Structure 1
Amino acid sequence: MGSFRLCQCERMPASTELKCIIKRLQESPEACVGLMAGGRLKGIVTIETLIANLDSHSGRLEGSSALECASTSFVMTSGDVFFTDFLYENSSKSYDNIILTSSHGQISLVAKDTFRQILTFKNRRIREVLPVTSGVPALNEKESCLKALELLSHEEHPHVVSLGNDGPTGVVTRHDISRAIEMRQNLWDIRLVDVAQSNVTVLREDISAEEALFQLEGNPNRLIICEDSDGGVRSVVDIMQLRRALIGLLKPKKYEIAYQGVAQRQLSDILIERVMSDTMGIGVVALTPDLEIQYSNRTAKKLLGLSSVSLSRKSAYSLSHDIPLLENVVHAVGMLDPVSNPVVDLSNRTDFPSNYQTKLTGVWKNNDPSGFIVTIQNSTDVRLAEAKLRKLAYYDALTGLPNRTLLFERLNMEIRKSRRYNEEFAVVFVDLNGFKGINDRYGHRYGDQLLIKVANRFSNVLRETDTVARLGGDEFLFILPGASFMETAWVVSKKILAVLDEPIVLEEVTVSIDASFGTAYFPENGLTPEELIDFADQEMYESKRLGL
């Protein structure tokens, strides 16, 4: 079952605080958390299980503990088991998730899109994957091969099925007849039964895909004759071709693969709203590049006099006549610029009290808008709110280092500067070795402490112009402006290795950890942030493979 799309599953104690699990899932949307107690898996938490536990009115999680927000409906099986064996062993069970285990004790979750395909697999019919044909000609097995040869002369008929008293007995091709002609002189004496390939299996096209797989498992015959509901021959297919087609029914469609991303966006919207509403007291309206309202929190709707109205997915254009703030947003969007004018102050254009400050901010990706945020707040709290907003948007919540968003902004700035002044710079991809073992052995609390201390040590070896960001998990990226090849490869690597040489104390536990590196240089190894990071990532894996 290892060919299915899987989601990494991180083990955590069942007593883990819910907020720690939410933080983990935000970092890796397609991951899941396995809650362990007494050495056994008690439940799994995913983006979907969290959303399922949200109160429809308050938007808050109904469960207060991780187990209350977990799914306990799952089956566990070895990742090495054949899919047909899995179906047979679990045919009478009801379950919402499939967990695969490895020989090393790791666990993975079959992705939700693939899981849905597995659930519906039993009801799919093999007619769905058979080639579209007008039927396959069939002749009595005692007929002369001349009749079969006439039918096979048409390109649309590569096969003729021979029929006995009880149904199909074999399949004849042009090659079968040609081989027989070479052995006998009199073509009239050659009958279909003499040349037909009898190593065939007959299936009805209306049987389920599951039943077909059961019948094909270990089947020695190469060809499959598929009959329609009236007993006519629908098609002739190779057994391996049919097996691949049946397994293909398990591959999720693109829109189903996108489901996890949609769930992540839903959860992110909810969590962002809770942070902004409950801890900052700031009104927030988020809009897409087309000015469709993605969400608006309670504070914003209260200030707009729309507490009982849902604004989600409505266009700012259509609402601008009734809501002066949105009318000003429509006019001000064109004034935004990622470099010269990233924020537009709308305070003097609204009918809010004078002590309220309203701003329109663009969210940019490669100088193109990926959305807009309107903030409304009492001006006495503006500085604090802006600092918190920036920290949420640009800094990793655990380590305080720049996150991916800020990293890409700084990489784009460095690329523009290096082009302007014809300079070089380097990026160094760092992956901690042994982090997962420490996390698994001592728990995520110690893993978090380790990442914080490593991040602090990395920050202490930087020059003022350097940047270190956390990419996610145990991966970090350094941006080193003006670094030449020799300087980067030797000096920086030596500094990073040196700070990891000293053991790290985590409460009562002392651990040691090292790292693997990969370096990329602008412009030799890439001209965009993505190209530079990919190259450095590949170099890091090669270094890890060689044990350097």
Structure 2
Amino acid sequence: MPQAQQNEEHSAHHAPGTNGTAIYRRRTVRLLVAHDRLSDVDLWLQELKRAQFAVSAEVVQTPEDFAARLGAEQYDVVLASGGIPNWTGARVLELLRLQDENMPFIYLGTDVERDVMEKCIAQGASDCVYRNRLARLPVAVAIAVEQRSLREERNRAEVELRRSEAHYHALSENPHYGIFRFDPNGQFLAANKALAAMLGYESASELVAMNLAEHIIRDPVERTQLLEAYRQKGHIDPIEMEWKRKDGTPMRVRLSGRRVDSDLGAPDESCEIIAEDVTALRASEDNLRRLAATDALTGLANYRKLAETLESEMKRSDRTGRAFAVLAFDLNGMKLVNDMYGYLTGNRALQRLADTLRLSCRSIDTPARCGGDEFAIILPETGAREAGLAARRICDCLADDNEEPRLSVSVGVGVHPEDGSNVNTLLQRADRELYKMKGLQKSA
């Protein structure tokens, strides 16, 4: 089949539902798409546009065209989906890895392709997205691109850390790496300017007057571990720990070091350490993990986070013998709201419901958007009666909201362990109760 190409670009910076936080504000994200239907690709690109991505996409429909494009152009992410005969998602990923081991790969599958999606994840896919839940696609693409950038940055840093003694002088003057020596008691013996700047000291001499163990390392346990590792092994394996800057603010550092030999070759009593400030890197990773567990429109937990929390709560409940409940919600008349008021008002309705759920929750509860107009709340330490009261409070809050259009929900309750021993059965019970209520509302 001939190769087809399609480009979509958008220049805005902020994704909806992230309070102005940019998901991806750099250059255009370049996609290579292996799929047989351009209409599907149009939907995917439109979803990315709605999340205010700037994207360009090239679509290929044969392994030959796929390999040719990889060899001729540079891409940020590969998307693939089933439909091309004899060319499954796993085969696309296998061919991709032959040419590029680090290229992010996202598979878009259907509900019946769970095995295919699990196989792709096992073979190193960055993520899998259900085609009927495309709201996750922008987050999946953003995470895949950012994780690749973080991996490349970390690899570059590790290469720097492994430089030979021939490059020592250049490294010691590098402003991004702190280099220092300390004795078995933790007293600084020497430090470079980069380390002093990293910790907020005016000069290396001011820093050397400090004691690493007493003034810099925040955690006494980490302090002991570092000194014991040096005393026992004579070197420091790569380790991360929390330090304290001169002004008292915390920072995260990655350390690696070795014993220093004297000029005569005999072991010295000091250890030389290279320190890298990874505070921003870890903060970025934490943000990516948060994005991966958050619904972009509402800011609530997404379905993946909901399922993970349910699994964890079931284990806790089985261990302690204490029940917990899950409330399932369906926003009534969502299609009518979209038809009468438009999708912006429809999105606003979803956000209003999300705000109501969030404000109605305790700190231990987990409100989540399952997809579309479906929501849920996990209520730890809660039985059927208390869950029913919580559902009534939420319905009353919506009834008191005078913003147009007025909102109402159908609610279902499931309680573990009596209503379900696993995630699926518990959610199914809550859904059955929800649709029973919806049927009664229609009859009324």
What TM-score range do you get, normalising by the shorter chain? 0.3 to 0.5
TM-score w.r.t. length of structure 2: 0.46
Over alpha carbons, which structure has the higher Rg? 1
